[in-house]
Structure 1
């Protein structure tokens, strides 16, 4: 879930207004907080910490999805594939996963994850 979506959900769940949040965040006015909620801007580190305190959640919970999308170990193709996958319906995601696992020669376990038997490389199986 994106940071702005997370912030909007937490704002609604907590009953805090944009003004309430702005007063709890250093160097942030209502316009800035509104921009965060729209996804037009990202808060700085100190501001994320203050947001987490205001909502009573760990700062990492606010940034988990953002951190995963910025993973430097992923190639641009992996980022593009993940973005496309997330744009699909649940049914389409399942179909795409079936095709991808068939192409890779892996089998999905009950939880939808590759099974231990199928995690080796194709070269090792030959």
Structure 2
């Protein structure tokens, strides 16, 4: 899975913050409880201003809320790239490192040191 759909993200954030649709609606201009409930069910998408207000209400960047939607709308990303990213995310850190080594070796591109250092640090925990 590339990311979570917006409705899933909103439901998880609401649950984590102990908020219901009524609570969220009070923080969003021109959005009633029925509208917020539709967002949480995935029946509707919020507009840009509403998305910004949601992000503020949950304390997260607006881009984080739409990462799944944005990735599916990227015309430059092929289905193979989506599949590769989904497979990569299903792996543990060591497997991700091995896959990156193989991929960069095949592509003939040097792998940056930053991801290796982050992975090494994560494995020490």
Specify the TM-score bucket, using the shorter chain as the normaliser.
Answer: 0.5 to 0.7
Q: 1:56 to 1:109 in 2, by over 3 A?
A: closer
Q: Which moved more, 1:92-101 or 1:80-89?
A: 80-89
- Distance in 2 between the 1:94 and 1:52 partners? 32
Match of 1:87 in 2: 90
Q: Which has the larger radius of gyration?
A: 1
- Structure 2 residues not aligned, in runs of 5+: 117-125
How many residues of Structure 1 are paired with residues of Structure 2 in the alignment? 109
1:74 is aligned to 77
CA-CA distance at 1:72 after TM superposition: 1.1
1:61 and 2:68 equivalent?
Answer: no
Does the alignment pair 1:44 with 2:50? Answer: no
CA distance in 2, matches of 1:81, 1:42: 29
* Partner Cα distance (1:91, 1:4) in 2: 31
Give the helix-richer structure, 1 or 2.
2
- Across the aligned residues of Structure 1 and Structure 2, the Cα RMSD in angstroms comes to 3.0
Q: Write the distance in 1 (CA, Å) between the matches of 2:83 and 2:65.
A: 22
Query: What displacement does 1:62 show?
Result: 1.9
Using CA pairs below 8 Å that are at least 6 residues apart, which structure has the higher relative contact order?
Answer: 2
Q: TM-score normalized by structure 1?
A: 0.62
Q: Is 1:97 aligned to residue 104 of structure 2?
A: no
